Structure 1
Amino acid sequence: MVSQRTLFLQHVGQTSSCPMGLEIDHAKGIYLYDKEGKEYIDLVSGVSVSNVGHCHPKVIKAIQKQSEKYMHLMVYGEYIQEPQVNFAKGLVDILPESMQSVYFVNSGSEAIEGAMKLAKRYTGRREILAFNKSYHGSTHGALSIYGGDDLKKAVQPLLPEVDFMDFNNIESLERITEKTACVVMEVIQAEAGIISAEIEFLQAVRKKCNSTGTTLVFDEIQTGFGRTGKMFAFEHYGVEPDIICLAKSMGGGMPIGAFVSSKVIMDTLTNNPALGHITTFGGHPVSCAAGFASLIIIIEDKLHEKANEKGQKFRDLLNHNLIDHIRGKGLFLAVELKP
């Protein structure tokens, strides 16, 4: 009999020549279990996805209940679907007052793509700025604003009129001008090694965007929904974006993403042309039901506050002579080893 591993390597598209190769039977809470029953602690949370744990019973119940009513009905934005409406209202209730319109998509990369299009439409400008060492996804547009060369060089050319600044370098912000449609940034750079923005730097970014009429886009795809000890990482700084991108833990384990802005900004996608951004499966009702259930769990169980407590436990217990330092916020941490 051909093994699952062999079939996996033969028929499932691979991302590298050396996948982890764990064959998981089931998952619960923070644990993954292989076919032999061996238990693994999922310290990466499925890469910033499982903020409420694997297979949370309330999320499972929401999925089951919604899937019995209906799943896909119509392309996004045409029918009034209760799971979408409830989740959108739940999201705007925890975001700044200016952010009143949620556009649902399927993933983080799609959220970034939509946010860049929205900023270009709203401002009438074409230039996009991002930061060195940033990561925002692997679709064509998202990869264009990746702050490294290793993932981009094989698929050039990418989007034109994209440039980069240095993170936490206020002088580099002079690159933002009245020709800039948007600045896209992570408040805490994830793939760079959990590098937090300095408060003076983030304030300077906001000020420069205000003075040039540039749209500020925060990528909270990895940092959102309580992982850093606040519901969103920007709350640590008191600096608000014009557009925020969400995904990963947003769905409680189901695929979903969103970009959120003011109603005025978002409505630019509705005309000249109409259907300025469209998606077939974005805001899938089952994913929205799961996401809304997950959001309620985070709020009611105060998981964002518990992330601070547990993050401090890691800092206290990770006391080893090979550790140089620990950085990050809440449970979004990096452990730097000594050379």
Structure 2
Amino acid sequence: MVNAQVETIDTKHEQVKDYINKVLSLIEKPTITAEDAKWITSETINGFRENINPGFLEYRKTVTLDNQFAAVEWSDEGSCFKDVNGKSYIDCLGGFGIYNVGHRHPKVVKAVKDQLQHQALHSQDLLDPLRAMLGKVLADITPGDLKYSFFTNSGTESVEAALKIAKMYSDRTTFISTTRAFHGKSLGALSGTAKGMFRKPFLPLIPGFRHVPFGDIDFLRKTFEICSQVGEDVAAVLLEPIQGEGGIILPPENYLKEVRALCDQYGALLIFDEVQTGMGRTGKMFASELFDVEPDILCLAKAFGGGVMPAGAVVANEKTFQVLFDNPFMHTTTFGGNPLACAAALATINVLLEENLPARAAEVGEYLLNGLREAATGHEDKVMEIRGQGLMIGIEFHLDEVGYNISKGMFDEGVLVAGTLINSKTIRIEPPLTIAIEEADEVIATFKKVLESL
């Protein structure tokens, strides 16, 4: 009986090894055949249905057309990616904002490959040099007196770290976030996120969070006053300078400066979640520079790793970050700030500076925004507003179904866009900052064609 079980396990392991070797051989191939593509598509659909989450297959049907719901991506470069059948798409979703320097920018890929030749991950005990060097660079390029960095693997982790630092900074437990905010889906970050659908199954979340309308400074002021009066003083305000998942919502003029002033008046910290707005997306390296406001804590991720490595960071001023000086192990992460991620981040910052991509985002963003608005002329019954900053653009429609149909139609024509998590009526346009003018023209023309076909 025991021997039979061992033989069964051995047979299963041999089958697994054969399967893995087939997958690795496909990865190794510079190009794949039509037969390969068919097998990859079949295995992908079956794998999602049986071993990942069948819900993803239904979700894809809502944003793509007919049999393209099973579109399987395989390769990418520049502003585009290709599916397994070789069809090319202009990427205006950008991985929800991770491809600021483009897909697989050669300098970012080279930095990771070079680092991989001598060390992939650090020992955790010795001092790893790239983390120190990246920290110095961030201190030099971030606004104001932001100085100390803690490195993470994602935006949610960056927000979690920021919240813990703010909790350690004082004995206060009240946090203020805003309606339509999105800060992540782990319990701490989710406490700041606004969408009820994501929150309800996990209530109660972290106590002490209050949500106020984004852009309403009077409501925020009254909330500060009430919290002070009842002894629930505010520890920190958590904000996206421009709301991303909320539907690309820009703040009213002087709003962020007034938020900063309120935080200073009541002794609260200001946390800017620039996971989506950072790294040049809005026309400046950081959106806080657009509004001339310096946060106490800045959260980064998404494009921070250059679209090659998962990477994030929390950068804080000394008065705030010093709570971790006595015991740096109060908050740690195994993979955050690993050598490969730091190499990618350093190369990404270098590309942003060398190619002047923040300024290019401002220029091409204005061009794209004007072109989309012109294309929407005469369709005011469908399009409510087109707004944005840099290459962070939202198109809001009167009805959800119009947005979905636009997304489907544009995908069918080879342009990937997507809705937002908070406002399904709004689709986002967030291409790489390297997108060519000719590609921007194609996006505009495709939007116009699909809009006119509805």
Q: TM-score range by the shorter chain?
A: over 0.9
> What are the equivalent positions in structure 2 for 1:147-186 lying under 5 Å apart?
147-173=194-220, 174-176=222-224, 177-178=227-228, 179-186=233-240
2:58 corresponds to which residue?
A: 18
> Would the aligned equivalents of 1:104 and 1:258 in 2 still touch at CA under 8 Å?
yes
CA distance in structure 2 between the partners assigned to 1:148 and 1:324 by the alignment: 22
2:386 corresponds to which residue?
A: 326
1:286 corresponds to which residue?
A: 340
**Number of corresponding residues:** 336
> What are the equivalent positions in structure 2 for 1:79-228 lying under 5 Å apart?
79-173=126-220, 174-176=222-224, 177-178=227-228, 179-228=233-282
- For residue 336 of structure 1, the aligned residue among 377, 380, 396 is 396
Counterpart of 2:320 in structure 1: which amino acid?
A: I
CA shift in 2, pair 1:297/1:14, >3 Å: farther
> What are the equivalent positions in structure 2 for 1:26-105 lying under 5 Å apart?
26-75=75-124, 78-105=125-152
Deviation at 1:301, TM superposition (A): 0.3
Report the RMSD for the aligned CA atoms in angstroms. Answer: 1.6
CA distance in structure 1 between the partners assigned to 2:250 and 2:108 by the alignment: 31
CA distance in structure 2 between the partners assigned to 1:79 and 1:292 by the alignment: 21
Deviation at 1:92, TM superposition (A): 1.4
Counterpart of 2:88 in structure 1: which amino acid?
A: E
1:238 aligns with 2:298: no
1:266 corresponds to which residue?
A: 321
CA distance in structure 2 between the partners assigned to 1:216 and 1:64 by the alignment: 37
Q: Secondary structure at the match of 2:113?
A: helix
1:248 corresponds to which residue?
A: 302
Deviation at 1:101, TM superposition (A): 0.3
Q: Secondary structure at the match of 1:33?
A: strand
Q: Deviations over 1:30-76 (max 9, x none)?
A: 1110111100111011110000111111011001000111111233x
> Would the aligned equivalents of 2:48 and 2:56 in 1 still touch at CA under 8 Å?
no
Q: Secondary structure at the match of 2:330?
A: coil
Q: Which has the higher helix share?
A: 2
Q: Deviations over 1:133-185 (max 9, x none)?
A: 10000101111111121111111111111111111111111212451111100
> Would the aligned equivalents of 1:74 and 1:280 in 2 still touch at CA under 8 Å?
no
Q: Percent identity?
A: 36
Q: Which runs of 5+ in 2 are unaligned?
A: 1-38, 61-69, 400-454
> Would the aligned equivalents of 1:92 and 1:99 in 2 still touch at CA under 8 Å?
yes
Counterpart of 2:110 in structure 1: which amino acid?
A: K
> Would the aligned equivalents of 1:130 and 1:165 in 2 still touch at CA under 8 Å?
yes
Deviation at 1:124, TM superposition (A): 2.0
CA distance in structure 1 between the partners assigned to 2:43 and 2:398 by the alignment: 40
Q: Which runs of 5+ in 1 are unaligned?
A: none
CA distance in structure 2 between the partners assigned to 1:298 and 1:325 by the alignment: 30
- For residue 356 of structure 2, the aligned residue among 302, 327, 335 is 302
> Would the aligned equivalents of 2:254 and 2:291 in 1 still touch at CA under 8 Å?
no
Q: Which has the larger radius of gyration?
A: 2
